[in-house]
Amino acid sequence: MTNLQKRVLTSIVILPLSFFFLLKGGYYLLFFLMSIFFIANYELFSVFNKRSTILFLDLILILSLFSIYYLAEHTKDASFYILLWVIILCICSDVGGYVFGKIFKWKKLTKISPKKTLSGVFGSFIFSLFSILIADALSSKIVWFDSTEKTFLNFLDPKFFFLAIILSLVAQAGDLTISYFKRLEKVKDIGKILPGHGGIFDRIDGLMFVVIITFILYNLKFIP
């Protein structure tokens, strides 16, 4: 079985499972996030030796898991649907980078991650825009209520197209950040729990940074 086939099969399992816990919320979601925390920490302490690296990555992990829990638990407003969108966006950005990188094979982006190419960067941006269409199709103008008015969440608002590019950039920067620390330790993957993907950190590297930024922008009322 090729690495790509392993990635696809693993994704078929973990994506529905992840969305199940997000939709269930409450103690289900808390159990899921705590499981990620402990597995990811096992990976960290197994691979990295520098305390500063472990502290930094653990801080990012904790902030990202808190952001996910906060956004997911606010099911009566827009944050839950924004969270679903940014997860889809990170997946699309990752797939776009992989597809364009394989097809066009342009100039290498950086020595930090030799497989990253400029074509992959453009692919990530382009595919991240598709996440808006997917989110809009799934939501069909999702409606949520507050104490005073009814509000419509319109993913086709031009603001979301701008955000998609920014968040895709954040996801790619997050990916490179984790790759930088892996390169310092001279390891390809942080773990092996997810066939074709590596470990927990290898799978959520870009998403961690994106959900933190999303949490900040949401509380600053920049989104939705």
User: How large is the average pLDDT for residues 41-57?
Assistant: 89
102 pLDDT band, cuts 50/70/90, is confident
User: How large is the average pLDDT for residues 42-56?
Assistant: 89
Domain ranges of the chain: 3-219
Instruction: Please state, for a pLDDT cut of 90, what percent of the chain lies above it.
Output: 35
In angstroms, the CA 34 to CA 40 distance is 10
Q: Exposed, middle or buried: residue 1 (CB in 10 Å: 0-12, 13-18, 19+)? A: exposed
CB 43 within 8 A of CB 201: yes
Give pLDDT, residue 24: 85
Over residues 142-187, the pLDDT tens digits come to: 444 444 444 457 888 899 999 999 999 999 999 889 888 888 888 7
